[in-house]
Amino acid sequence: MKNIIEGSRAVALTIKMCKPGVVSAYPITPQTHIVEDLARFKADGEADYQYLIAESEFAAASIVLGSSLGGVRSYTASSSQGLLLMTEVLFSIAGLRAPIVLTCANRAISSPINIWNDQQDALTMRDSGWIMLYCEDNQEAIDLHIQAYKIAEAVKFPVMVNMDGFILTHTYEPVDLPGQKEVDAFLPAYKPKRGFYLDSKNPASFGPFVTPTTYMEQRQEMFGDFIGSKTVIKKVAAEFAKKFGRKQGDGLVEYIGSGNEDVVLVAMGSIVGTLRESKKGVNFGILKIKTFRPFPDEEVLKKLSKAKYIAVVDKSISMGAEGILAMELKRVSCGRLKGRIKSFVVGLGGKDITIGVIEKIVKEVKKSDDKIAWVYPE
């Protein structure tokens, strides 16, 4: 059913239909509208989950870790400094294989303090062991949250769904919101297997102290499972496309163009919409990264095999290096791509990304130098 609603409300309605047993969060701009709506659903008797008020983001992450280990589908949301405050627990959640879903309303991090959008917050958590999905628009935000629970509960890894703060969270767009029966058919009630949750009738230890004898082996096993989750991400995306009639790539990447373009721009999140608009007057391809972790190495190599000039458009920066997505592309290419890769940093702290900015990138990427380029609107 088509609705014109705010992105945050679309996410809140979707989470309600996913039927978590526990929701816990601490408000922070621009995530607040999501958790306000979830609290209102509970107060109005429209939802059955327990809504637990936390005194901080650290506490919220700890609460959903506990509820998830208790065998309950769990949800939280955060942004910027709040996500950073969760850091210790986010690593524990991944290591304990708790299938939690978290919405990150992407926002710049301090200092200087800034409440507007870029993608620095989530990308700072890229090594934590969370599957990281990125939304281009609010329809994709709805779709990816439904898929996120199915992926998380299949592979026993938490999933972070990223949507650009304000650009998506506070924007009204027409979206196709599925009905409860459709969501139930795709995402059945969560029933973890015996031994995978805390149960006094079947005692088990989660997160015990580990010595050097087995720590490295356990981390290697986790790494292998995490890489293997790409197969499930693609499978769930294909099931979703068949069930709901909406396909946006293969779950890992999406290529927009003929595949024969000399210039390809690589990006993720809402900026892909701006790239689509810019493409109407300029000939270039777009590689949209839908899943940043685990990184889709083989899919990226395949899609960029014919490109001569590859511009990676980042809304983040690794201090002392370059754009974080650009670093990933260069790691993957490592002599396996003939095209030259150049890092472009745009939009930090909510700086406008105009069509003029994109046109400038398309011209600059053909220049011979490979220095990082900071691009501003005219």
CA distance 293 to 133: 7
253-256 vs 285-289, strand pairing mode:
antiparallel
**Which residue type sits at 272?**
V
Whether this prediction's pTM lies above 0.85 is answered by: yes
Confidence (pLDDT) at 370: 80
Span 210-256, pLDDT tens digits? 999 999 999 999 999 999 999 999 999 999 999 999 988 999 999 99
Angle at 31 between CA 52 and CA 72, to 5 degrees: 35
**Per-residue confidence (pLDDT) for residue 335, from 0 to 100:** 86
Token pair 């039927």 in the structure block, residue: 19
What local confidence, expressed as pLDDT, does residue 52 receive? Answer: 97
366-377 pLDDT, tens digit per residue, is: 987 888 999 999
| One pLDDT digit (tens) per residue for the chain, 378 residues | 789 999 999 999 999 999 999 999 999 999 999 999 999 999 999 999 999 999 999 999 999 999 999 999 999 999 999 999 999 999 999 999 999 999 999 999 999 999 999 999 999 999 999 999 999 999 999 999 999 999 999 999 999 999 999 999 999 999 999 999 999 999 999 999 998 899 999 998 899 999 999 999 999 999 999 999 999 999 999 999 999 999 889 999 999 999 999 999 999 999 999 999 998 878 999 999 999 999 999 999 999 999 999 999 999 999 999 999 999 999 999 989 999 999 999 999 999 999 999 999 999 999 878 889 999 998
pLDDT of residue 1: 76
Helix orientation angle between 271-278 and 355-364, rounded to the nearest 10 degrees: 80
C-alpha angle 224/229/234, rounded to 5°? 145
Please report the pLDDT score of residue 85 as a whole number: 98
Q: Mind spelling out the 3-state secondary structure of the chain?
A: CEEEEEHHHHHHHHHHHHCCCEEEECCCCCCHHHHHHHHHHHHCCCCCCEEEECCCHHHHHHHHHHHHHCCCCEEEEECHHHHHHCHHHHHHHHHCCCCCEEEEEECCCCCCCCCCCCCHHHHCCCCCCCEEEECCCHHHHHHHHHHHHHHHHHHCCCEEEEEECCCCCCCEEEEECCCHHHHHHHCCCCCCCCCCCCCCCCCCCCCCCCCCCCHHHHHHHHHHHHHHHHHHHHHHHHHHHHHHCCCCCCCCEEEECCCCCCEEEEECCCHHHHHHHHCCCCCCEEEEECEEECCCHHHHHHHCCCCCEEEEEECCCCCCCCCHHHHHHHHHHCCCCCCEEEEEECCHHHCCCCHHHHHHHHHHCCCCCCCCEECCCC
Output the pLDDT for position 120.
Answer: 98
* CB atoms inside a 10 Å sphere around CB 258: 9
Which residue is it, tokens 């096993």? 221
